[in-house]
A and B are shown apart, each in its own frame.
Chain A
Amino acid sequence: DQQVKQNSPSLSVQEGRISILNCDYTNSMFDYFLWYKKYPAEGPTFLISISSIKDKNEDGRFTVFLNKSAKHLSLHIVPSQPGDSAVYFCAATINQAGTALIFGKGTTLSVSS
């Protein structure tokens, strides 16, 4: 039973437009959420995170929104660039040092110029 779900396997967006990647979770104990970006043949690279005490966190072109009541988070990329084309993983964990991350299956984002 998947605790973190990314229901869209792929997303295609034009350069300059907004990319919205979605993630749902089932475990109400999760209180820290992260997005990782992965290029082929590389390991996941940390992108942005959000604590459950917040509903929004912004870093440059990347913004993560958290809706605890819906157990839903989303990653917004504005404006999208061709270099953003990668697989994006949503991950969640429980607020303890070193607890394992639970990952979704990933969404492949393709940004066309």
Chain B
Amino acid sequence: EAGVVQSPRYKIIEKKQPVAFWCNPISGHNTLYWYLQNLGQGPELLIRYENEEAVDDSQLPKDRFSAERLKGVDSTLKIQPAELGDSAVYLCASSLGAGDQETQYFGPGTRLLVL
């Protein structure tokens, strides 16, 4: 069974440019998460989707970040405009969304460098 797929794996952009990341969760997983991982830190949640609905976006900097999961399957996370401090790894994870104490499965991440 395929795991969580993310693309691109690496992205280098200049500050003030836009950037987008894509994630395809494990088939059948209703819950999708975007996490941000800074160097030397653990992942931190940006946004959580239940199917196509964003149920927790309290940590998403909405002035420059946006996300969508239009058909309740794959998802896109966008930053516009990017700032130097956005350099980090952006991780996508998914879980079944069917019950309590579920395991979240992570993709390989997109490593963003803003110059």
Contacts and interface: CB of A to CB of B under 8 A. Distances in A.
A85 interface: no
Interface stretch (A39-47, A59-67, A76-84): A39-47
A42 B108 contact: yes
B40 to A, nearest CB: 7
B101 A98 contact: no
Contact of B101 (A49, A104, A105): A49
A105 B42 contact: yes
Contact of B106 (A41, A45, A97): A45
B43 A101 contact: yes
B100 A97 contact: yes
B56 interface: yes
Contact of A97 (B4, B40, B99): B99
Given A89-B42, A105-B42, A106-B42, A98 B95 contact: yes
Given A43-B109, A44-B91, A100 B45 contact: yes
B42 A46 contact: no
28 contacts: A36-B106, A41-B108, A41-B111, A42-B108, A43-B6, A43-B91, A43-B108, A43-B109, A44-B43, A46-B103, A46-B105, A49-B101, A51-B101, A89-B42, A91-B42, A97-B99, A97-B100, A97-B102, A98-B50, A98-B97, A100-B45, A100-B48, A101-B45, A103-B43, A104-B42, A105-B41, A106-B40, A106-B41
